[in-house]
Amino acid sequence: MALKVTPKKQATEDPRHTQAVQNYESGLRALQEHKFEKAKGHLQKVLSGPNKSLVDRAQVHIITCEKHLNAPSLQFKSVEEHYDYAASLVNSGDYVTAREHLDALLKQNPKSEYVLYGLAALHCLTGHVEESLKTLNDAIQVKPALRFQARNDTDFQNLAEDPRFTELLYPDPGVEAEPEEEEASAY
């Protein structure tokens, strides 16, 4: 006896749901590419879709887009102003953003003693001792007077007991001014 197989009824998918999923995916791609205006447009189309869960997720992403679109753009009038902003980030404890700004400043001004000094302080505050010593040395090579500033700077307190730091700030007076060898004169 043969069993009679009846075909399953195929559930027809709601075209509004399909369109909402496509818009949601397009919105996420645009969001990942930092195209916030485009992403917001796609995600707003999802809001009229039938799937409440998808609508809720789209609303969260729309808020993210709006935050990025409404964020004030940072425009600095000078390198010094940009540095002051980075220093304020260090002072407020936002070390990651401060490092981004100091790195950008250093790319623009690789021999800027105050940018090097600020980066050395940040390295010290974040426990990167080797980088701090190297960067502070670079700053002092450009402007030796920074030795005196670093001696009293609490940002370098983590290095206070390190002999390399002491040698950097209190160099042997004879080392800096080594006399050049005089050529023997022929009589």
| Interval 29-68: pLDDT, tens | 998 888 899 999 999 999 998 999 999 999 999 998 888 8
Distance (Å, whole) CA 187 – CA 168? 43
| Interval 98-116: pLDDT, tens | 999 999 999 999 999 999 9
User: Cα Rg for the chain, rounded, in angstroms?
Assistant: 30
Identify whether the C-beta of residue 139 lies closer than 8 Å to the C-beta of residue 116.
Answer: yes
| Residue 41: predicted pLDDT | 95
Three-state DSSP class for residue 115 = helix
**DSSP of 31-84:** HHTT-HHHHHHHHHHHTTSS-HHHHHHHHHHHHHHHHHHHSPPP--SSHHHHHH
| Interval 58-89: pLDDT, tens | 999 999 888 888 876 678 889 899 999 999 99
Q: Where are the domains of the chain?
A: 15-70, 79-173
| Interval 144-183: pLDDT, tens | 999 999 999 999 999 999 999 999 999 877 655 444 444 4
| Residue 74: predicted pLDDT | 76
Question: Which architecture characterizes domain 79-173 according to CATH?
Answer: Alpha Horseshoe (1.25)
